[in-house]
Amino acid sequence: MTDLSALPPANACADIPVLRERGQREVFCGLTGIVWLHRKMQDAFFLVVGSRTCAHLIQSAAGVMIFAEPRFGTAILTDRDLAGMADANEELDRICVTLLERRPDIRALFLVGSCPSEVIKLDLAKAAERLNSRLLPRVRVLNYSGSGIETTFTQGEDNALKAMVPLLPATDDKQLLVVGCLADVVEDQFQRCFEALGIGPVHFFPARRASDLPPVGRNTLVLPAQPFNGETIRALVARGTTVLSAPYPFGVEGTTAWLAAAAREWDVAPGRFAAVTTPMIERARKGLERHRRHLAGKRLFMLPDSQLEIPLARFLHREMGMDPVEIGTPYLDRQMIAAELPLLPATATLSEGQHLERQLDRVRATAPDLVVCGLGLANPLEAEGFATKWSIELVFTPIHGYEQAGDLAEIFARPSERRARLRV
Ligand code: SF4
């Protein structure tokens, strides 16, 4: 597709039935988002107010390098805090002030709530207010929850961005705002592409510096780059912005449709759109081709984890020829995936939430060729003979846009390539 037309639907009815399940779930909490958020916002520090478990999670997920000065840490709540015997607020203020004295490069401090801070009802919004009265304008203190009681995995990013929305300055200028944390290399590619199409000004949220806040207003057109930032998008709508509905920029089709949604708003001529995108589409198609033979016709089962499952299943089905058996998502935000739903194959089961045992029974009964799941399930499933792919790789690797389409396909092709090599 090289023009501005809509994608041909695979399943004309977007109202496909959803299997809703509630029960034990196997998914990371929202603290995990700190790993990619701290890499993106280079003047931000993320202070988890939590337990040793939270500290272990975040350190092992981030693979801390001892030579680097990390921009995240955990203020550990001790038994005395949990029992209400110590004033956790006083201690938190002291830790924050000491931290910021040691790190003059920090301009934004995120206090991140956890299960323990939630259970003892430590009011981090009040703590942020208190600290701001001492630390502004040098440092802005914000707060959000990454607790496993309230959030799963990628919802941590949504909460962090939503906390920043009230701070965004106002503008009435026409502009594009791309929302969702993108690797710098991807942001640069999209920026060049928008420039070539004559679309602009373009801002990215979050920016590379948390203190660099993009302006928003009634002439701001919001283009979501990640499907899991629904609360942030709704907060931006409340600031007067308009959201462009499009599939997400995964694979050739998704990227083209995503760019076309912006191009229509800037009246980009179809000829110009084709001239800019065709060379990139051709390169991306070549990148996909060599992985297609490992993926075409293979049956796919996606367990609910990152909320990327629906757009990725669409890409794997339509461009790589895979046959999704079940597409699980932790939470189905219809507003955020309105343009994706009609592109899913009618034969796939779409499930929301999780009842782990029942879902694992369905994995065994359907015997898929590839299971996409969280880290905790991958090894047991491999031991049962299933090929698996860790969904966490999908949020740590640049996968958006034309240039990354081949890498995205490779992530899913690798397990079957490896198995094929082992069989030789
Ligand atoms: S926030 Fe909750 S779920 Fe997440 S690591 Fe801490 S205790 Fe565990």
Tens digits of residue pLDDT in 311-332: 999 999 999 999 999 999 999 9
Domain that holds residue 36: 30-151
Give me the mean pLDDT over the 169-184 stretch: 97
Ligand 1 atom with minimal separation from the 114 CA: 1
266 and 224 within one domain: yes
| C-beta 276 within 6 A of ligand 1 | no
Whether residue 65 has pLDDT greater than 80: no
| C-beta 49 within 6 A of ligand 1 | no
Whether residue 416 has pLDDT greater than 90: no
Top mutation candidate among 54, 58, 76 for ligand 1, by most atoms within 8 Å of CB: 54
pLDDT band at 232 (very low <50, low <70, confident <90, very high): very high
Per-residue pLDDT reduced to its tens digit, 72-108 = 889 988 777 777 766 788 889 999 999 999 999 999 9
Whole-angstrom Cα distance, residue 115 to residue 48? Answer: 11
* pTM (predicted TM-score): 0.93
Task: Answer for the pair 34, 109: CB distance below 8 angstroms, yes or no.
Answer: no
pLDDT band at 1 (very low <50, low <70, confident <90, very high): very low
52 belongs to a structural domain: yes
62 and 109 within one domain: yes
- What pLDDT score does 357 carry? 94
Instruction: Share the mean pLDDT of the chain.
Output: 92
- What pLDDT score does 82 carry? 72
Number of structural domains in the chain: 3
Give me the mean pLDDT over the 21-49 stretch: 92
Give me the mean pLDDT over the 400-409 stretch: 97
Whole-angstrom Cα distance, residue 205 to residue 198? Answer: 20
316 belongs to a structural domain: yes
266 and 290 within one domain: no
Residues 6+ apart with CB under 8 A from 35: 58, 61, 62, 396
Ligand 1 atom with minimal separation from the 57 CA: 5
- What pLDDT score does 60 carry? 81
| C-beta 246 within 6 A of ligand 1 | no
Residue nearest to atom 3 of ligand 1 (CA): 148
188 and 140 within one domain: no
| C-beta 142 within 6 A of ligand 1 | no
| C-beta 54 within 6 A of ligand 1 | yes
pLDDT band at 393 (very low <50, low <70, confident <90, very high): confident
| C-beta 51 within 6 A of ligand 1 | yes
> Alpha-carbon Rg of the chain, whole angstroms?
22
Task: Answer for the pair 236, 222: CB distance below 8 angstroms, yes or no.
Answer: yes
| C-beta 53 within 6 A of ligand 1 | yes
308 and 250 within one domain: no
Percent of the chain with pLDDT over 70: 93
Whether residue 249 has pLDDT greater than 90: yes
Query: In a 3-state reduction of DSSP, which class is residue 127?
Result: helix
What CATH code is carried by the domain that includes residue 300?
3.40.50.1980
pLDDT band at 64 (very low <50, low <70, confident <90, very high): low
| C-beta 31 within 6 A of ligand 1 | yes
Last residue of a domain, one of 246, 270, 294: 270
Last residue of a domain, one of 151, 186, 206: 151
102 and 204 within one domain: no
- What pLDDT score does 17 carry? 87
408 and 292 within one domain: yes
> CA nearest 317: which of 295, 335, 338?
295
| C-beta 148 within 6 A of ligand 1 | yes
- What pLDDT score does 238 carry? 98
3 belongs to a structural domain: no
55 and 138 within one domain: yes
Ligand 1 atom with minimal separation from the 148 CA: 3
301 belongs to a structural domain: yes
| C-beta 115 within 6 A of ligand 1 | yes
13 belongs to a structural domain: no
162 belongs to a structural domain: no
| 320 or 58, greater pLDDT | 320
Whether residue 115 has pLDDT greater than 60: yes
What is the CA(4)–ligand 1 centre distance, in A?
Answer: 45
133 and 76 within one domain: yes
pLDDT band at 14 (very low <50, low <70, confident <90, very high): low
Whether residue 162 has pLDDT greater than 50: yes
- What pLDDT score does 319 carry? 98
55 belongs to a structural domain: yes
Give me the sheet containing 108-113, strands edge to edge: 72-76, 44-50, 108-113, 140-145
What is the CA(230)–ligand 1 centre distance, in A?
Answer: 22
Percent of the chain with pLDDT over 90: 79
What is the CA(112)–ligand 1 centre distance, in A?
Answer: 11
Whether residue 26 has pLDDT greater than 50: yes
Whether residue 28 has pLDDT greater than 90: no
Q: How many beta carbons lie within 10 A of that of residue 193, not counting itself?
A: 20
261 and 374 within one domain: no
298 belongs to a structural domain: yes
**How is residue 334 annotated by DSSP?**
T
243 and 127 within one domain: no
398 and 331 within one domain: yes
Give me the mean pLDDT over the 261-288 stretch: 98
- What pLDDT score does 16 carry? 78
Here the tokens at position 320 are: 């790589």
Last residue of a domain, one of 270, 302, 336: 270
- What pLDDT score does 321 carry? 97
